[in-house]
Amino acid sequence: MAKVKILVEGYTTANTAEQGEEKTCPTITLIRDKDIVMVVDPGVLEDQKILIDKLKEENLTIDDVNIVCITHSHIDHYRNIGIFPKAKTLEYWGLWDRNTVEDWKEQFTDDIQILKTPGHNYDGLTLFVKTDEGVVAICGDIFWEQNFPEDDPYASDIEQLKESRKKVLEMADYIIPGHGKMFKTEK
């Protein structure tokens, strides 16, 4: 079974900030599955050393990471992708290795499934990872936090977002949202 660990718990002040004062950081997640060492949504941080130190706590360096996944193309989720120069990039359009791209398979590995989950943005992806604890969905901003926002003010298509949320809730035992702590789904 694969292993999932939150490296940096995300946050957002979108629900309380005055105009122009919003602060945000995505939840940055590590997936280990056989020879795959994947960081999902390396995001924005006050200092990239925070992420480097979190990897060090897992006995990893930036060179050990061989795939970086971007759940959608909002800069708060991908700004730090450049600190992983040896890693491939998994995103909506394919799996990139430097300047070449190949299609990814929905069943990425035995324990990782990728589904397109549009709504917050047209290019949303969710990773469903089989772990010893159950299926963990790493879904970017399909959910920002457990119960927030009910109505996503940045959604590109609210109806698609509702469908994506429904799919994620049905398929996952746990959800790692875009800007908060992991939560258990209610089945």
pLDDT recorded at residue 147: 80
Among the residue ranges 17-26, 39-48, 71-80, 103-112, the one predicted with the least confidence is 17-26
Tracing tokens 């450049």 back to the chain, one arrives at 82
- Burial label for 46, CB within 10 Å (0-12, 13-18, 19+), is exposed
pLDDT recorded at residue 154: 84
- Looking at the predicted structure, is the pLDDT value of residue 38 above 80? yes
The ranges assigned to domains in the chain are: 3-184
- Measure CA 139 to chain center: 5
Query: Between these two residues, 187 and 49, which has the higher pLDDT value?
Result: 49
pLDDT recorded at residue 187: 72
- Domain 3-184 in CATH 3.60.15.10: yes
5 forms bridges with which residues in the sheet? 30
Task: Tally Cβ neighbours within 10 Å of residue 170.
Answer: 9
Q: How many helices (H) and strands (E) does the chain have?
A: 3, 14
CB 142 within 8 A of CB 101: no
